[in-house]
Amino acid sequence: MCFFPVFLYSIDRKIPGPLTRQNSQKMEGFPASAGAAKGPDKGAVFMLKNEYLQRVYSQTVTRDPDQKEFHQAVLEFLESLDQIIGQHPEYEKKGIVETFVEPERVITFRVPWVDDKGNIRVNRGYRVQFNSAIGPYKGGLRFHPTVNLSILKFLGFEQILKNSLTTLPMGGAKGGSDFDPKGKSDEEVMRFCQSFMTELQRHIGQFVDVPAGDIGVGAREIGYLFGQYRRVRGTYAAGVLTGKGLSFGGSLVRTEATGYGLCYLTQEMLSKMKHDSFQGKTVVISGSGNVAIFACQKATELGGTVVALSDSNGYIHDPKGIDLDVVKDIKLGHRGRIKEYADRVPGSTYTEGFRGIWTIPCDIALPCATQNEIDGEIAGVIVKNGCLAVAEGANMPCRPEAIQAFQRAGVLFAPAKAANAGGVATSGLEMSQNSMRYAWTFEEVDRRLKDIMTNIFHNIYTAAEECGKPGDLVLGANIAGFMKVANTMLSQGLI
C-alpha cells in the first residue's frame, strides 16, 4: 500500500503548495466580495491526504488563481471526497474529479441597453453550464453588482450536487449579470432583460438549459425574460424558464419553496438527530427576501418563534415574534428596507449592521442572506449562546472555519446544497408540470416538496454513516450528490 504525505492548504493562497500548520496560520484571509463578509479568516486550514485530489485542487487554483469563492467550494468538496476516493480508483483512472470541477461551457457576453435618460449602458452577462450528465443544465440567474465568474462558478458547482440530491434529472448551471435592478424603473429593467435574453436564448432550451431566478431576478424579471425568449424564438416553450407567473406556466409553491424546504429538512434533522422539533424554539433568520420570509412563515407554523430578520443595512429584533404580514408589506409590497419594521411594530428594535443579528441568542439559526456571512468568530458567539442547529438557506453563508466550529461543538449543521434545495426541487416540479401541460394544486406540490426534502436529509445522513462519519451532513451531502453524477459520467464516457 502506498502512503502519501498530508498536505495542508489555506484557501487564500493563489498557488497552493505543501504548508505546515504554523505557516498556514500566517496566511491572510481573501478579500470580501461586495455585499458579503470577507473570506475565510487566517487559520482556516484544510487537509487533503490523497495525492490525486491534491493535484486536482492545485490545478484548479493555478488555472484560475483569483477565483476565491470557487476555490472555497471546490476545496470543501474535495475534503469530503478524500474520505472515499481510495475506494474508487476508477475515478482517477478516468479523470472524473478533474472533469467534474471544470465547467462544460462558460459563456460571457455584453448586454447593451438604454436607460430612461437615453444613455447607452453596457453590462456583462454570463452563463456557466457546469455539468449535464444527469439532465439539462439547471440553475438560477443572478443580477447584482457583485456578480463575477468566480461567484457564478461556485454557485454552478454547488448546483450540480444540489440538483443531484433532489433525485430529479437536472444538471448544474448558474448565470447572471453585474446589472443592479435596484433603483431602476420597470422600463429600464425590461430593456435590460430583453437585451440579456436576446443573447442568452442562443444557449438555452427546455432540453438544454433551464434558467430560473436568484438574487435580483424575481417574478418581474422572469416575465420580461420569458417574453423576450418567446418573441425571438417564435415559440411558446414554457419549460425554458422556471419561476414563471402562474398565468404562463409557473408552479404553485415556487415562491415559498426554498424557505419551506429549508424548514422541512431542518425539522427532519432535529427529529432524527435530537428527537426534537421547532416547537417552542427561538429562531433567528438572516435576510428578508423570499427565502427568509417563507422560512419565517414555515418555522412559525411548525411552532417556532422567529425573533429577528435582516437586510444588507441592518437587522430587526422583535422578542415577541416577527409580524410577518408587516415584513411582507415592506419587502414584497413596496421593496422597502427592513428598518421600517421598527417604526411600525411597537416593542421591536432596529440596529445598523447586518452581521450583528447573530449576537441574538437562538435555538435554531437559519442564515438566508448571502455567502460567507458567518465567520469563525460569529460562529463562536452562536455556539456560546446555546444554539442547537444551523441550516443554510443562502448559498454557502458559513465560512469553512464556522462550519468546523459548529461541528466541534456538536451543533447540528445542514449545508446549503441540501438545506436550500427546495427551490430547485420545485423548479423541477414546475418543469414536470410544463411537460404534462398540467398544474398541480398547492397541496400536491407542497407534499412533493416535503417528501423530496425529507428524502434528501435521509440520503445525506445515510451517506455520512456509510463513510464512518455519522452526523457529518456536509460530508454526506457532498458524497451522495457526487456519486450519482460521477457514476453517470463513467457510463457516458469521456465527453
Catalytic residue set: 174
Given a contact cutoff of 8 angstroms between Cβ atoms, the answer to whether 110 and 124 are in contact is yes
Q: What does the block give as the cell for 316? A: 430587526
What would the grid cell of residue 235 be?
415559440
Report the candidate in 413, 399, 487, 423 with the shortest Cα–Cα distance to residue 457. 413
Find residue 8's DSSP bridge partners.
19, 47
Phi and psi at 241, nearest 5°, equal: -135, 150
Amino acid at 192: F
Sequence-ordered list of residues with C-beta below 8 angstroms from that of 457, at least 6 positions apart, any chain: 265, 268, 269, 272, 414, 418, 473
Query: Which residue from 94, 139, 322 is spatially nearest to 243, judged by alpha carbons?
Result: 139
Residues pairing with 414 in the sheet: 391
Of 205, 249, 186, 197, which is closest to residue 228 (Cα–Cα)? 197
Task: Give the whole-angstrom CA distance, residue 59 versus residue 42.
Answer: 22
The secondary structure of 24-66 as a DSSP string is HTTPPPPPPPTTS--SPPTT-EEEE--HHHHHHHHHHHHHSTT
Cα distance from N-terminal residue to C-terminal residue, the chain: 32
Residue type, 51: E
Report residue 331 as a C-alpha cell. Answer: 419587502
Distance CA 54, CA 216 (A): 37
C-alpha closest to that of 163 among 151, 153, 173, 152:
173
Classified as helix, coil or strand, 490 is helix
Which residues partner with 175 through β-bridges? 127, 141
C-alpha cell belonging to residue 206: 427546455
The grid cell for 471 is 452526523
Q: Could you give the 3-state DSSP secondary structure of residue 393?
A: coil
Q: How far apart are CA 131 and CA 190, in angstroms?
A: 30
Question: What does the angle CA 234 – CA 236 – CA 239 come to, to the nearest 5 degrees?
Answer: 130
Burial of 58 (0-12, 13-18, 19+ CB in 10 A): middle
Q: Among all chains, which residue has been given the C-alpha cell 443544465?
A: 137
